[in-house]
Amino acid sequence: MSETNLHPSADAPLVQARGLKKCYVMGRRTLEVLRGVDLAVRRGEFLALQGASGAGKSTLLHLLGGLDHPSDGEVHLAGQRLSSLAAGDVARLRNLKVGFVFQAYHLLPELNALENVCLPARMVRVPAGEAESRGRELLKRVGLGERLEHRPYELSGGEQQRVAIARALINAPELVLADEPTGNLDSHTGAEIIELLCALRVERQTTLIVATHDPEVAGRAPKTVHLVDGRIENDPQQ
Domains of the chain, start order: 43-67+86-232 (3.40.50.300)
Q: What is the DSSP string of 148-184?
A: TT--GGGS-HHHHHHHHHHHHHTT--SEEEEESTTTT
Categorize the per-residue pLDDT at 131 as very low, low, confident or very high, splitting at 50, 70 and 90: very high
pLDDT of residue 135: 96
Distances in Å between the Cα of 193 and the Cα atoms of 7, 103, 130, 220, 227 are: 30, 12, 26, 12, 23
Question: How far is residue 79's CA from residue 237's CA, in Å, rounded to a whole number?
Answer: 20
pLDDT of residue 3: 41
Comparing 1 with 54, the larger pLDDT belongs to 54
* Cβ–Cβ under 8 Å, residues 185 and 157: yes
Q: What is the mean pLDDT of residues 172-186?
A: 92
Question: How far is residue 55's CA from residue 81's CA, in Å, rounded to a whole number?
Answer: 25
Q: Is the pLDDT of residue 144 over 70?
A: yes
pTM: 0.90
pLDDT of residue 28: 86
* Cβ–Cβ under 8 Å, residues 180 and 212: yes
Question: How far is residue 208's CA from residue 200's CA, in Å, rounded to a whole number?
Answer: 10
Q: What is the mean pLDDT of residues 5-21?
A: 78
CA-based nearest residue to 65, from 219, 211, 216: 211
* Cβ–Cβ under 8 Å, residues 79 and 13: no
Mean pLDDT value across the chain: 90
pLDDT of residue 93: 93
Categorize the per-residue pLDDT at 136 as very low, low, confident or very high, splitting at 50, 70 and 90: very high
Backbone angles phi, psi at 138, to 5 degrees: -65, -40
CB atoms near residue 18 (< 10 Å): 15
Q: Is the pLDDT of residue 6 over 80?
A: no
CB atoms near residue 172 (< 10 Å): 12
pLDDT of residue 52: 85
Comparing 235 with 169, the larger pLDDT belongs to 169
Model pLDDT for residues 191-234, shown as the tens digit of each residue: 999 999 999 999 888 999 999 988 888 999 999 999 998 999 86
CA-based nearest residue to 193, from 143, 151, 136, 127: 143
Question: How far is residue 112's CA from residue 163's CA, in Å, rounded to a whole number?
Answer: 10
> Per DSSP, what are the bridge partners of residue 210?
48, 178
pLDDT of residue 1: 45
